[in-house]
Structure 1
Amino acid sequence: MLVFILLLIFCLFFSIFMTGLLRRYAQTHLLDQPNHRSSHRVPTPRGGGMAIVTTFLLAAPLFVSLIPMPYGISHSSFVLIWTAALGTALVGFIDDHTSLKPRTRLIVQSIAAALVVSAVGGLPELTFFGWSLDLAWLGYVVAWLGVIWFINLYNFMDGIDGLAAGEAFIVCLSMALFHFLVGGDWSSASLLLLLGISAAGFLCWNFPPAKIFMGDGGSGFLGLMLASLMLLDAASAPEFLWAWLVMLGVFVVDATWTLLNRYRLKCCLSEAHRTHAFQYAARRWHSHRKVTLAVLLINSLWLAPVATMIVLGHLDGAFGLLIAYLPLIYLAYHLNAGVPE
């Protein structure tokens, strides 16, 4: 236990150190200039999310060599997920330097998602409202599409200071605590804590007012890793799937509602915009800090208690998801998410 805690502390400071190095590099090579679609007003370096990537991908093999393989997966499955995460991060980092065609990004994301689904074995049998549903081969397709969506969803939601990194930290910490509540194995929670700590190191630089932005490399990596850990948790305990979806509710609802609304209004879906609910809230409150803290409070005071009841078996997963999402849907509607300015 002591060795594990010391490793986490080391990873925290390593992530902080790597973010500082990346900031020096980005000030020359990756300076994000404000424009009419930006949520920031001063030139700010980006690409700092690669500190999260570097910390996690270097430390994860060390972690699994010291503890039993998390979730009981094979070493080959772990390598598939590790490779998918690295590929997604590298393509995102390249995209930060020179914008790639959407088709190129989608091809890489599709391959990465296929590797993850192959490693985790698709979706497990779903239980909701007292019914069980085995999707069989269709579960692989749904899981594959879900991973692709989470990669892009996280990229969409990385729009203001501290939001994406703060979300990753609080969600990983909460899910690790849920493992302890139900007597889950230490090894499974360890990867969650490692990812959360890696994000926390970057957050020290990214918390409002941000000194560096995450960039597509970091956001795509986080989206893929959170989706991967969600599927691994779901395979070991189906109620964890619902808990994950509840904890990520702010991001899922905002990104999905915005995309569907823009599609309904015949907006160009590939065009950059700033019509997410959190972006409207940041402009209304004239503060990134207030919105980021509000999201973290929603996660801690609203979504986490609902997710806790689900994992402890006191609340049906699908019903809990509905309870958790209804206020978030109202907020997205109230803030005109997806409606052009």
Structure 2
Amino acid sequence: MIYIVLFSISFALTYFIKEYAIKKSLIATVNERSSHTVPIPHGGGIAVAITWFAGLIYLYINNQIEPTLFFAFIIGAVIAVVGFVDDIVELSPKIRMIVFALVGATGLYIIGGLDVLTFGLFDISNTFITSVFAMLLILWYINLTNFIDGIDSYLGVKFIFLSVAGLVIFGADYFAVLGVSVLGFLYWNWHNAKIFMGDVGSTLLGYTIAIITLYYANIQSQNLWIWITLYGVFWFDATMTLVRRKLNGEKLSQAHKKHAYQRLTQAGWSHSKVTLYALGLNVVIFLLVYFIPNIAVSFALSLVLLYVAYRFVDSKKKFES
């Protein structure tokens, strides 16, 4: 019953935010990075955030979530607020990064840091090294999730996939809460989108998946690579694009449309087609993780699959220098 209530809250809030944004002209302008040709209301991530935090509070009151994880998730509200402000007035990147770092460090402290960084053949348990790795992962996930949020339904479908994957593999109730929080928004964001998520949602979701990754890594070290593998479509695209732009001598802070999903839309694919093909890729990766007991093998196979998919995108739309 609670999940129906949460879905309804997300669905209704997204609608009212959409209507309010239209009346107040709070719309995402079209720029060099946009994959849209007309301005669309943004801020739908507010509905995701409110529903997510409401669901977490319900779980906490009913002892259905570990207190440490609950508080690590809740501190993400600061990121959501900063994202909301940034959607309206466009904050300085330095201010954003300072907030992300402070919140990330707080969340990492709450869950007890990262105990061990495992690479199969050897482990690293040095606190300084594991802490630096964990902080870099948090900051990279926040930013890359924001980068990847560029076409209708792409980010929403990804996080529903992660929610279902987490529910199947680990069985925790908060995965269902996360899934329905995004699902209510997704109805309005499906192509052609009536509203965008905005930084308020994308940065919060990036922080959330980073905390999930590190929290489960402390339960069992190989879980780190399970979550990294499941998030592979996003980080592989973002990382490859970043490296290739750097090799091209481009200014990395400059807006662009060179991510794989963006190049597919430029090649003539609809937003929904790109999203559904990406979902299919995610499902295959999930099956590798679920049915292959050795995470090193499933991770390696996923990398091969992601590279093949990336080269396929290159064949559809060349990565221009």
TM range (shorter): over 0.9
Where does residue 69 of structure 1 map in the other structure?
65
Give the Cα separation in 1 of the matches to 2:318 and 2:241.
Answer: 4
Q: Which of these residues, 29, 34, 45, is aligned with residue 49 of structure 1?
A: 45
The alpha carbon displacement at 1:332 in A equals 2.6
The alpha carbon displacement at 1:338 in A equals 9.6
- Determine if contact 1:242/1:307 at 8 Å carries over to the other structure: no
Where does residue 307 of structure 1 map in the other structure?
289
Matched, 1:81 2:84: no
- Determine if contact 2:32/2:255 at 8 Å carries over to the other structure: no
Give the Cα separation in 1 of the matches to 2:70 and 2:199.
Answer: 23
CA change 1:129–1:239 in 2 (3 A) is closer
- Determine if contact 1:23/1:45 at 8 Å carries over to the other structure: yes
Aligned length: 318
The alpha carbon displacement at 1:36 in A equals 4.3
Give the Cα separation in 1 of the matches to 2:72 and 2:275.
Answer: 33
Q: Which of these residues, 269, 278, 298, is aligned with residue 252 of structure 2?
A: 269
Give the Cα separation in 2 of the matches to 1:201 and 1:69.
Answer: 22
The alpha carbon displacement at 1:325 in A equals 1.5
The alpha carbon displacement at 1:161 in A equals 0.3
Q: SS of the residue aligned with 2:91? A: coil
Where does residue 11 of structure 1 map in the other structure?
6
Task: Report matched runs for 1:112-151 at 5 Å.
Answer: 112-151=103-142
Percent identical among aligned pairs is: 33
Task: Report matched runs for 1:178-327 at 5 Å.
Answer: 178-180=169-171, 189-300=172-283, 302-309=284-291, 314-315=293-294, 317-327=295-305
Give the Cα separation in 1 of the matches to 2:226 and 2:300.
Answer: 12
Higher deviation after alignment, 52-61 or 128-137: 128-137
Gaps of at least 5 residues in structure 2 are none
Q: Deviations over 1:40-69 (max 9, x none)?
A: 122211111111101011221121111243
The alpha carbon displacement at 1:333 in A equals 4.1
Q: SS of the residue aligned with 2:267? A: helix
Give the Cα separation in 1 of the matches to 2:297 and 2:113.
Answer: 23
Q: SS of the residue aligned with 1:129? A: coil
Where does residue 330 of structure 1 map in the other structure?
308
CA change 1:130–1:80 in 2 (3 A) is closer
CA change 1:22–1:33 in 2 (3 A) is same
The alpha carbon displacement at 1:108 in A equals 0.6
Structure 2 length as normaliser, TM-score? 0.93
Q: SS of the residue aligned with 2:123? A: strand
Matched, 1:96 2:58: no
Q: SS of the residue aligned with 1:29? A: coil
Where does residue 23 of structure 1 map in the other structure?
18
Give the Cα separation in 2 of the matches to 1:192 and 1:124.
Answer: 23
Q: One-letter code of the match for 1:235?
A: N
CA change 1:176–1:135 in 2 (3 A) is farther
- Determine if contact 1:78/1:119 at 8 Å carries over to the other structure: no
Q: One-letter code of the match for 2:51?
A: T
Give the Cα separation in 1 of the matches to 2:279 and 2:184.
Answer: 17
Q: Deviations over 1:125-183 (max 9, x none)?
A: 24443433324331111101110110001000001000001100111111110014xxx
The alpha carbon displacement at 1:331 in A equals 2.8
Where does residue 185 of structure 1 map in the other structure?
none
Give the Cα separation in 2 of the matches to 1:30 and 1:22.
Answer: 10
The alpha carbon displacement at 1:278 in A equals 0.6
Give the Cα separation in 1 of the matches to 2:29 and 2:122.
Answer: 52
The alpha carbon displacement at 1:256 in A equals 0.7
Structure 1 length as normaliser, TM-score? 0.88
- Determine if contact 2:79/2:100 at 8 Å carries over to the other structure: yes
Give the Cα separation in 2 of the matches to 1:37 and 1:80.
Answer: 32
Q: One-letter code of the match for 1:240?
A: N
The alpha carbon displacement at 1:231 in A equals 1.1
Q: Deviations over 1:298-326 (max 9, x none)?
A: 111x111112135xxx22x2332121022
Q: SS of the residue aligned with 1:285? A: coil
